[in-house]
Structure 1
Amino acid sequence: MEVFAVPDIPEIEPGDDLATLIDERVDLREGDVLTVASTVVSKAEGRGADLSDFEAGEHARDIADQIGEIAGERKDPRFAQAVIEESEELVMAAPFILAVTRFGHITVNAGIDRSNVPGADLLLLPEDPSASARRLSDALGVPVVVTDTSGRPFRQGQRGVAIGWAGLPAMRDWRGEHDREGRELTATVEAVVDELAAATNLVTGEGDDGRPVAVVRDWEFGDHDGHDHLFRDRDGDLVRQALADFEYHSE
C-alpha cells in the first residue's frame, strides 16, 4: 500500500470546484482511494461563519459561563451558540462541549474550527460529509473519504477519522470468517474508513502544512462483507449513555 499527499492544493474559497482542482494535480488510478480534509470541503461549500452570525441564547450563555469559570477566563457565548446550532444533541457541556453533529459524528465543539479560516471567525463542518464525498467520488471516479482530526477517549492526542465516505463501505465485517486455528470470528468489525483517514493524516499533516488531500494506492477492501454503520446508535452506546448522566464539579 502506498500513501501520498496531493501537492500544491491552493487556498480553497467558497464556490471552488474542488474535484477539478484535485484532478488537475494527480493522476488517479482505478482502485485508488482519495481522502479529503473536511476543512477544504467546508471552504468550497461556503461553511465559513462569523461569531456575529450567532445570537447567544440563555443556554449558550450558561454554557459559556460554566466553561469560563472552570478555565478561569471569559468564554464567548456566541461560540457556544454556534455549537448548539450545529448539533443534534449536547452529550456534555463542561468542562468542554461534546456534541452530536446532525450527521451522527460525536466530537468536541461540533467540529467547529477556528484555525486556518481566512476571512471568517469559524469554519463549520460540511452539512452532510457523505453527500460531499459522493459528489467528489462521482466526479473523480474513485472512492472518497472526508476526514477530520479528533481526540480519542482514554488516550492523549488526536488522529484522523472519517466523517463522510462514498464508493466503499465504512466497515469491513470479519464476523463469520475464521482465524488460523479455525475459530469463527464473532465480533470483529474493522472501521476501514477511519484507518484510511488515520493513515493519510500521517502525510497530510497539521497546522500550516497545507496538504489537505491524499491518495491511498494498492489497498484492497478484500472479499469481505461491508456496511456503513460507523456511528453507534444512541441505544447501543454505553459510553454516551454514561456521559449523559455526568456532571462536572470544579474544585
Structure 2
Amino acid sequence: MKILVPVKRVVDFNVKIRVKPDGSGVDLQNVKMSMNPFDEIAVEEALRLKEAGKAEEVVVVSIGPAKAEETLRTALAMGADRAILVETDDAVEPLAIAKILKGIVEAESPGLVILGKQAIDDDSNQTGQMLAALLGWGQGTFASKVELADGQVAVTREIDGGLQTVSVRLPAVITTDLRLNEPRYASLPNIMKAKKKPLEKTTPADFGVAIAARLRILKTEEPVRRIAGVKVGSVAELVDKLKTEAGVL
C-alpha cells in the first residue's frame, strides 16, 4: 500500500509573528519557515506504518512556492520515499488545495492519505474533510491513534467528551492530532540521502484547478494586549473589586 502525506511550509511555531505596519498581512522578511507541526506528525505516522510492514511507499506532497522544496526535503530526510511539489506563488485556499490533492490521489492511487488536522498559519481545519468529500472516501479526523488491519483502519479520535474509535474502510483520509506521536529528528546521513531522492514538480494547471482566491483579507491586526493584573490583600477587597470595578457580582 502507498501512503500520501500532504505537508505545508509555514512560519516556524517558535517565531513571534509580526504584522506589517499597513495591516496588509504578516511580515515574512527574514522569518524562519518550517514544516507545519501537525503535518510533521502525519509524516511520522506514515513512516511508522511503513516500518511496521503495513505500507510499501510514503509519498509527500506540498502545494506552495519553490522554497517549499526545503520542507519536502525535510520529510524525505525523515524517511519518505519521494516527493511532489505543486508550485505556485499565490496563497492557495483549502478547497483549491483539496481539488489539487484529489488529482494527485487519482494519479498516485494511494490506499491512505494522512494530513495534519490544520495548518498553524490559517487554522482552517478544512482540507482533509474537503478531500474526503471530493474523493467519496471515509475519513477519521483528529486521530490520536491509528491501527491498520484487514482492509480497514481503526482511528481513535479526540472529542470533547473523551475518546471515540471509528472503523473506516480503505482507502481513507486521516487527519492527525498532537498526541498521535512524537516526530523523529532527521539524521545527518538521511539529510544527505534526501538530496538524491526524487522530487517531481508540477503546477495547479496540470490538474485543471483554478486557484483564484474566493476570499479577500481586509485587514490583519495583532491581538489586543492583555492588561496587567492587580494583587489584592484580602477576600473582602477581591469581592469589592469584583462588585465595583469588574461589575460581575
Bin for the TM-score computed over the shorter chain = under 0.3
TM-score when normalising by structure 2: 0.25
Larger gyration radius, structure 1 or structure 2: 2
TM-score when normalising by structure 1: 0.25
